Amino acid sequence: MIYHAGKNVYMNVTFFSGLVFAGSIAAGFLGSLTGLGGGVVIIPMLTLAFGVDLRYAIGASLISVIATSSGAAAAYVRDGYSNVRIGMFLEIATCAGALAGAALALHVPTSAIAIVFGLMLLYAAVGSSEHPSAESRKDGEDARSLGARLRMNGGFPGGKYVVERVPLGFAIMVGAGALSGLLGIGSGAVKVLAMDRAMGLPFKVSTTTSNFMIGVTAAASAGVYLTRGYIDPGLAMPVMLGVLAGALLGSRFLMSAPASLLRNVFRIVLLVLSVEMLYNGSTKRI
């Protein structure tokens, strides 16, 4: 039996797992489309709707993030959207940050984590406002730039792009990794913004490369939560299966979806969830 939301309400385990599975499908779908990884939907869903302890929700979310990356990333790499070279380079930063964030999370009150989570989502939503796309920029390719020397410039089915401000993107990724370990998400919101805004990648390349990266970042954090006993297989399994199914559906839809629609979905989801997490964290309901 599952204790729900601090009230005298109990649910049959099968029914509970079915609800979690259904919600996880939607989370995986959104995570695949926006590059968020599903964790930003999974954690509020488990904590606010089902009353799951935040740290156990984080553990399940990390497992789901790995599933999202596995489900969506292969399709994106195959179709030429993800930039594997950029993803592998930036993972050096995110993995280091993830290990530090996961260690810190075990000593921080859950209400404080919820507030940090909400602020991060709010910043990402505001920062994702429309701006000139990488495809429309007139910057020529500079063979002396760091991106060019590292052979990061590339193309995708929508055109070609030039990678800018690599050191800035790398620094932001350290923070993204720390947020991943602290909050139990793939920190896709920060990764997408770092690649889209700081490094000048097209939005579809940013989201697909983020999907490629988040699994490795989450795996670095998940080991810490596993050793502390915060990953419950009974909770993580329906979450993982649902997110994986949703991610596969989302990866098919993204190919034909306009970037402006994806950006709007990205922003709306983050705004709603940020308000919920800030309210519940500040009132110590989590």
pLDDT in tens, 149-205: 777 887 777 788 888 888 888 888 888 888 777 776 666 667 887 888 888 888 888
- The model's pTM: 0.66
pLDDT at residue 21, as a whole number = 93
**Tokens at residue 220, please?**
């670095």
Q: Tell me the percentage of the chain whose pLDDT exceeds 70.
A: 80
C-alpha span between 169 and 176 (Å, rounded) = 10
Q: Taking all residues of the chain, what is their mean pLDDT, rounded to a whole number?
A: 76
40 backbone dihedrals φ, ψ, rounded to 5°: -70, -15
CA–CA distance, 94 with 31 (Å, rounded to integer): 18
Q: How far apart are CA 113 and CA 183, in angstroms?
A: 7
pLDDT, residue 139, reads 47
What pLDDT is recorded for position 285? 65
End-to-end CA distance of the chain: 21
**Burial per residue of 174-211, b for 16 or more beta-carbon CB atoms within 10 angstroms, e otherwise:** bbbbbbbbbbbbbbbbbbbbbbbbbbbbbbbbbbbbbb
Q: Which domain holds residue 193?
A: 2-282
pLDDT of residue 140: 47
Q: What is the pLDDT of residue 176?
A: 80
| Residue whose tokens read 């930063």 | 93
Quote the pLDDT of residue 187.
Answer: 67
Number of structural domains the chain divides into: 1
User: What's the pLDDT at 172?
Assistant: 85
Work out the angle between the directed axes of helices 84-105 and 54-78 (0-180°, nearest 10).
Answer: 180
Structure confidence at residue 250 as a pLDDT band (50, 70, 90): confident
Looking at the predicted structure, is the pLDDT value of residue 2 above 50?
no
